[in-house]
Amino acid sequence: EPEVTQTPSHQVTQMGQEVILRCVPISNHLYFYWYRQILGQKVEFLVSFYNNEISEKSEIFDDQFSVERPDGSNFTLKIRSTKLEDSAMYFCASSEAAGYGGGANVLTFGAGSRLTVL
């Protein structure tokens, strides 16, 4: 079964350092997403990406965050200067399509990258 893969599975970093989280979405999927989940809290939307540009972003996704699809297979999330409150599980997800119905809009998640900021 096709899957979304994420690396690293766990990263520990010092406050103020830059972090890049990597994702390889399912190959025929066109829509890519980053979500985060702080321990014990809900899954929160960060950003969606389609056709090499951001299509939606949340208020969490401020200037410290950026996304990129550098080579047609990887989808990365960069946090420029990490803060303690960035500690969370970051999930990448992809879908074949967007919109309503038909089943192709279902999100498939990667296993997540746990970020710990000290």
Partner 1 sequence: RKEVEQDPGPFNVPEGATVAFNCTYSNSASQSFFWYRQDCRKEPKLLMSVYSSGNEDGRFTAQLNRASQYISLLIRDSKLSDSATYLCVVIYNFNKFYFGSGTKLNVKP
Closest approach, Cβ 50 to partner 1, in A, equals 8
What is the secondary structure of 80-118 as a DSSP string?
A: SS--GGG-EEEEEEEES--SSSSSTT--EE---EEEEE-
Residues paired with residue 78 on neighbouring β-strands, in sequence order? 20, 66
Under the binding rule (CB under 8 A), the answer on residue 41 touching partner 1 is yes
> Between 98 and 118, whose beta carbon lies closer to partner 1?
98
Burial of 2 (0-12, 13-18, 19+ CB in 10 A): exposed
Decide: is 43 part of the binding site for partner 1 (CB under 8 A). Answer: yes
Mask of contacts with partner 1, 72-101, x by CB under 8 A? -----------------x-x---x--xxxx
Task: Give the one residue of 87, 112, 115, 117 binding partner 1; rule: CB under 8 A.
Answer: 112
- The answer to the question of residue 31 lying near partner 1 (CB under 8 A) is yes
Look at residue 6 and give its three-state secondary structure: strand
Contact at 8 Å (CB) between 4 and 108? yes
Residues near partner 1 (CB under 8 A)? 31, 33, 35, 41-45, 48, 50, 55-56, 89, 91, 95, 98-101, 103, 105-112
